[in-house]
Structure 1
């Protein structure tokens, strides 16, 4: 294969260059088809148990995700001028496309009796003009249905809950459209008030804004730093420009492939360009190091063709192992990253190679000066005390594994945003003034239907117990309006604020509510289409997955304790599902990748030892990174596990490169210590350089406002640094102890 590739570069250089440019141009066109997707549903495969239950809920009850818009006045809401402002804001909200339901103070209904007629009227009349605001203030202070839901304690803030139309597959677009419309048409028109937006609809848009904002700032900065470090290494402006151009073409081609395949760009797949950029830089540095050494691109490619090809294949295997993941974006990450990694190698060999062959650059002759003392020191150290070093690494790994298992799995999506972002500020403002903003849904199953008085009374007791919990801010259901109507029908006697004893009376009360309320306020939002099950929407303070898991279990136990059947649904269980799957995916992909890479290397080198040696990073490196997270008091979450998976794919690249170069020396009948010394002095500098470039570039992501980018920076610095130490220190010790320092006997064949 080596001769074929070299002859192809020599004899078909122009054809190769033109073909690669045509291929890159075609693939890059796919970027025009690239779509963004940040909804939580996009994490799950169709047919997943979590998704099916969630979709079943939405089918029977309508949308659960909402936009929470808090309006804060300088004085009390009850001021007629402020009420008029709220009424105007609601009218403007209804003009926004895809909003199908609004819950607010100005459309909150109050049931009353006038002679023999029962009336359901807005708490605040359309023509609210009065000099005496005390009646409204009294209602705002004392109505339990408004507390922690529609009004703040100081009566200066109120809330609009806007529910979007459910459009399968384009929920993200709908959410983005609503948020942007409010930012353009409502917020600028009411400068006299403070308007904050939070809730599920806002979060999806905030994810997109934060990730794209960080990438727009950090990617150019990363290219500048990469250019600087490459120039220090290459000392040739043309080579630096060529390298940056290749990285850019590879990243654009990868994004184009994603567009052509219809894979949407989200929180997970946004990591693909970073991964491909890293692998591309590593391939380039290896090949260009050979070019500098020999002053001949063909010799540079010849010495690095096999190592870079093997690292490409093994890294692809690592990412393709993600295909077994239950979470759809992780499987897509595996596909897109693998294709990008393959393109990085192809472009490096068949574009850079022919270009430098046709237009060779005049490089300064490589000096044959003494190698850097650090590598001599490492070599001497590994030869003097290999067993001591191995024992040291084993102890460190054992301690790291211990710390890893102490670290909990706990995702808190809201912590992904910097406190300076609009979303974080809005969420905190809502907490400070109103209460809990995180929503969950409860479905209570009736043995007959929702007109069953026994069932409704149990549901009433359950909701009463639920609202006593410190983590529950508000529970909204059909129970309150039903009890209110029953009271009004009994002359307003407070003792009659209860569920009726008769199924027929309940049926009449439900019918009255159904015909009296506007369609957008229909009670049908609070029961299933077949009227068999009851919906209870809760707002709670639980944010992290651990809190949600504990609260979900306790609430479902509370349901059982009240003699009811039911479950918690909505977005909350999806968060738990992501946590469960992300850990399973990481462990499963690690096992699959480790096994396949080991077998692959055993076959290639016909050595069981080499195969086992190649998988050490998969076992040791993650434990170091995980221990650092524990020591930094950062629990495992979705972003950190993903980042470790990606870094691991990058880290194993150097290990395979080191092993391949060492085996080449051993095949020339050199002794083990001679082979190790040659590889350390030759490849050690290259491996150190690639690690330095990647760590320098990726550490920039700590400057971003998005917490997953902070985790990415920490993980790359930790994992890649430990991986380099492992390759340069631990691997030579293992080889020395296993084979001895004398001439190598042929390894055991697979």
Structure 2
């Protein structure tokens, strides 16, 4: 016991000092996935892609607003706070990739995140910016590039390089509001808000959260009734999700513990019966999260279900063992002997139920998503720790019990649990022991429910949310939707286009191909609603057209690709000489690779695959075989996740089902009973998947786990019930007597653990993150469905399969469960 407490104290220290939460979508991807590799190439070639977006609402074209905007930008540029990973890429931090996941964010030329940074190059004027600062660049109406021809020189000064007077504001408003590249990109259509985009140095997710928190203090300082500020963008959204998940994590852990404590008090009615099981599950959870912390594995939007899962599922072993121990104590057995007998009678089924749950969780190793694999690995580790504590730590606790029978009383006819179990037995049983209408009705009902549920399961649709996980009134969600509405989107698709042998970015044919591609992308409409999907396209083409217009008297009809190859080369050379850092945001130093950023409206990830397919196909057709097209960006990250969700579900569930079936057959040593026992294991899964399909609950990173977790829960009850049935049927040879014994010895513990599961997962309904609410609802439904399948349908099936008496010549009998 002392050793256990020492290890637990050490693990608590690890959780407090090293445990991390990463709510970004990129944290879900495997480091070796195609999407992950392409995203890293983007960062290698164009720098940091994490950007903060500040929406500043007010009268944009007023001196008060512009002065406030200038002061805000100055304070943001001066941010200086201690950060552990400032300026470091993943490979330079010496930490596991999963902890350092970054969510993709818009990058492109003069758009949300249009400053993709610099590739680390020694080329003069390219990438020679100083490092070591938190904020690399801030763009706003004040310093946005405005390409003009002035005094025989191409100028790329900011829009407000020459600070306007009050008298000049009407003309400034006219010029800005007539510029298509400004309206809905940097200023809304009404001139009532503008945006600042902030690009930071490379850093890990926790440090980005720190920057977001510090930025919020700056915004609070500058807020005024006529200057309303809201923070959006990928890092603030992930920070908000991280804070919300952490709050849910702490609250659900506490509520699960409290709920189980109350139920344990109701069941065992003595401190000794409460302390043991509670310490078992709490220590198992702490050991699990401590191990995650030491391994550098963060809690993600997938594994955030682990706290209550480990507490609720892990307590089952303790309940079964302690229930049998209590019965022996009630019969007057000496304490030590009661512990030994309880371990002997429940040990095998407890080990098998734990192994089946662990197998169900380890089946996630078949998945492609890294966060799913982590969830399976540490979930399995957690239930094994619960087993270890149940068979080692709990008996030590019980050894201190000298007199108490843990609230055990004689079971009376009026006992609620006894009446419920009696009803479950009676619906498929007649006094004569023959076939009954009730038994047939139960089986037909189960078959019908299974068929209807299967149809519903075919309606499952994968999804990958982000902002939708937050409550409707959460500031981060409100700000994100506001930015999407005012500025035409907050997500992006990016294309990396690099020239192969014979290809060249600095030529007219390539520019014409980009112009054609731009038109096809902007013309695309949502197949379901007919609404716009892409609202802007940013590329090196913009530089060429801007420069061409500037050198032709700023005439609108000159905003086009020059008529000759020499004209294209001249335009790019002029711009490079004037603003090499801006050109660097769009092409690499060797002019061999170009970045295209497509801003898209905020949608569910499942709505994006057709758009992505259209964009990639259009790009490949436009540029031809001399160029390679590689898509990336926030949208691609989300799409990459949902494209493997269903396949991950199928692979993990199929592997879990196969292994668990074999394990149950080996445990029961009866092929027929093992196969029949899979029916009550599968029906709850079909029912919960059917419920998801009919109710429209999406298959996301949390609900993906439901099938494998459900089979782990269902198998627990089935194994205990079938183990008792097999033992008594072999002994007595009578199906009704064997079932009656199973109800007596396993039924009560099954109801108790189901009640504990409902309490443990019921707390998810209090979560702020919506996908956790869905998860709690679905697991609660699964628990009820599994209890029905095991206590009502399973006995009916057994009476059909084992209707004849077949007394065995054995002696002894089970010692209880």
TM norm structure 2:
0.84
Shift of 1:366: 2.3
Q: Distance in 2 between matches of 1:738 and 1:206?
A: 55
Quick check: 1:82 aligned with 2:65?
Answer: yes
Question: Aligned in 2, Cα 1:259/1:667: closer, same or farther, shift over 3 Å?
Answer: farther
Q: Which has the larger displacement, 259-268 or 141-150?
A: 259-268
Question: Aligned in 2, Cα 1:116/1:530: closer, same or farther, shift over 3 Å?
Answer: closer
Conserved? CA contact 2:514–2:623, under 8 Å: no
Quick check: 1:531 aligned with 2:591?
Answer: yes
> Where does residue 107 of structure 2 map in the other structure?
none
Decide which of 662, 681, 684 is 1:599's aligned counterpart. Answer: 662
> Where does residue 367 of structure 1 map in the other structure?
410
Quick check: 1:258 aligned with 2:292?
Answer: yes
Quick check: 1:123 aligned with 2:159?
Answer: yes
Conserved? CA contact 2:586–2:596, under 8 Å: yes
Quick check: 1:185 aligned with 2:218?
Answer: yes
> Where does residue 716 of structure 2 map in the other structure?
653
Q: Distance in 2 between matches of 1:83 and 1:745?
A: 92
> Where does residue 21 of structure 2 map in the other structure?
36
> Where does residue 544 of structure 2 map in the other structure?
482
Decide which of 14, 18, 24 is 2:2's aligned counterpart. Answer: 18
Conserved? CA contact 2:311–2:760, under 8 Å: no
Conserved? CA contact 2:490–2:602, under 8 Å: no
Number of aligned residue pairs: 724
Shift of 1:617: 5.0
Quick check: 1:176 aligned with 2:218?
Answer: no
Q: Which has the larger displacement, 115-124 or 250-259?
A: 115-124
Quick check: 1:143 aligned with 2:164?
Answer: no
Quick check: 1:417 aligned with 2:470?
Answer: yes
Shift of 1:302: 3.2
Shift of 1:255: 1.0
The DSSP-based 3-state class of the residue aligned with 2:20 is coil
Shift of 1:559: 2.8
> Where does residue 505 of structure 1 map in the other structure?
567
Shift of 1:614: 4.2
Q: Distance in 1 between matches of 2:348 and 2:730?
A: 14
Question: Aligned in 2, Cα 1:640/1:424: closer, same or farther, shift over 3 Å?
Answer: same
Structure 1 residues 515-547: Cα deviation after superposition (integer angstroms, max 9, x where no partner): 32373xx22111244323332212211421221
Structure 1 residues 85-115: Cα deviation after superposition (integer angstroms, max 9, x where no partner): 1122222222235332333211112122234
Q: Distance in 2 between matches of 1:700 and 1:475?
A: 45
Q: Distance in 2 between matches of 1:687 and 1:188?
A: 57
Decide which of 207, 216, 229 is 1:195's aligned counterpart. Answer: 229
Decide which of 377, 380, 384 is 2:423's aligned counterpart. Answer: 377
> Where does residue 3 of structure 1 map in the other structure?
none
TM norm structure 1:
0.91
Shift of 1:365: 4.9
> Where does residue 440 of structure 1 map in the other structure?
493
Question: Aligned in 2, Cα 1:467/1:361: closer, same or farther, shift over 3 Å?
Answer: farther
Quick check: 1:543 aligned with 2:543?
Answer: no
> Where does residue 306 of structure 1 map in the other structure?
348
Conserved? CA contact 2:29–2:36, under 8 Å: yes
Decide which of 188, 191, 194 is 1:158's aligned counterpart. Answer: 194
Stretches of 4+ moved more than 6 A in 1?
A: none
Quick check: 1:248 aligned with 2:282?
Answer: yes
Conserved? CA contact 1:66–1:200, under 8 Å: yes
Structure 1 residues 318-372: Cα deviation after superposition (integer angstroms, max 9, x where no partner): 2122222211121111221112111111212211212212333423552142362
Task: Give the CA RMSD over aligned residues.
Answer: 2.4
Shift of 1:426: 0.8
Conserved? CA contact 2:681–2:786, under 8 Å: no
Q: Which has the larger displacement, 537-546 or 355-364?
A: 355-364
Q: Distance in 2 between matches of 1:351 and 1:639?
A: 32
Q: Distance in 2 between matches of 1:639 and 1:335?
A: 15
Q: Which has the larger displacement, 693-702 or 19-28?
A: 19-28
Q: Distance in 2 between matches of 1:745 and 1:530?
A: 84
> Where does residue 9 of structure 1 map in the other structure?
none
Structure 1 residues 571-628: Cα deviation after superposition (integer angstroms, max 9, x where no partner): 2222122112222222111111111122222223322123323433553222111111
Conserved? CA contact 2:280–2:389, under 8 Å: yes
The DSSP-based 3-state class of the residue aligned with 1:406 is coil
Shift of 1:183: 1.2
The DSSP-based 3-state class of the residue aligned with 1:526 is coil
Q: Distance in 2 between matches of 1:247 and 1:261?
A: 21
Conserved? CA contact 2:685–2:711, under 8 Å: yes
Q: Distance in 2 between matches of 1:746 and 1:115?
A: 109
Question: Aligned in 2, Cα 1:254/1:744: closer, same or farther, shift over 3 Å?
Answer: farther
Shift of 1:459: 0.8
Shift of 1:452: 0.9
Q: Distance in 2 between matches of 1:609 and 1:547?
A: 46
Alignment of 1:393-412 (within 5 A): 393-412=446-465
Conserved? CA contact 1:175–1:204, under 8 Å: no
Alignment of 1:323-338 (within 5 A): 323-338=365-380
Quick check: 1:114 aligned with 2:150?
Answer: yes
Quick check: 1:638 aligned with 2:694?
Answer: no
Alignment of 1:25-64 (within 5 A): 25-31=9-15, 32-64=17-49
Q: Distance in 1 between matches of 2:165 and 2:243?
A: 41
Structure 1 residues 499-527: Cα deviation after superposition (integer angstroms, max 9, x where no partner): 123333323322332232373xx221112
Quick check: 1:101 aligned with 2:137?
Answer: yes
Conserved? CA contact 2:731–2:808, under 8 Å: no
Structure 1 residues 166-197: Cα deviation after superposition (integer angstroms, max 9, x where no partner): 34xx2x12421221120123333334422112
Q: Distance in 1 between matches of 2:370 and 2:403?
A: 46
Shift of 1:742: 1.9
Q: Distance in 2 between matches of 1:652 and 1:275?
A: 16
Decide which of 413, 430, 455 is 2:510's aligned counterpart. Answer: 455
Alignment of 1:181-330 (within 5 A): 181-192=214-225, 193-295=227-329, 296=335, 297-298=338-339, 299-330=341-372
Decide which of 464, 485, 509 is 2:519's aligned counterpart. Answer: 464
Structure 1 residues 622-670: Cα deviation after superposition (integer angstroms, max 9, x where no partner): 2111111222222322221124433432332222222222222223234
Structure 1 residues 205-236: Cα deviation after superposition (integer angstroms, max 9, x where no partner): 12211111222333322322222222121122
Question: Aligned in 2, Cα 1:617/1:482: closer, same or farther, shift over 3 Å?
Answer: farther
Question: Aligned in 2, Cα 1:616/1:166: closer, same or farther, shift over 3 Å?
Answer: farther
Of Structure 1 and Structure 2, which has the larger fraction of its residues in helix?
Answer: 1
Shift of 1:26: 4.0
Q: Distance in 1 between matches of 2:808 and 2:464?
A: 51
Shift of 1:251: 1.3
Conserved? CA contact 2:22–2:300, under 8 Å: yes
Unaligned runs of 5+ in 2: 80-132, 330-334, 430-435, 525-531, 811-817
Conserved? CA contact 2:143–2:160, under 8 Å: yes
The DSSP-based 3-state class of the residue aligned with 2:422 is helix
Conserved? CA contact 2:428–2:439, under 8 Å: yes
The DSSP-based 3-state class of the residue aligned with 2:358 is helix
The DSSP-based 3-state class of the residue aligned with 2:195 is strand
Conserved? CA contact 1:387–1:737, under 8 Å: no
Shift of 1:72: 0.9
Conserved? CA contact 1:644–1:715, under 8 Å: no
Conserved? CA contact 1:104–1:150, under 8 Å: yes
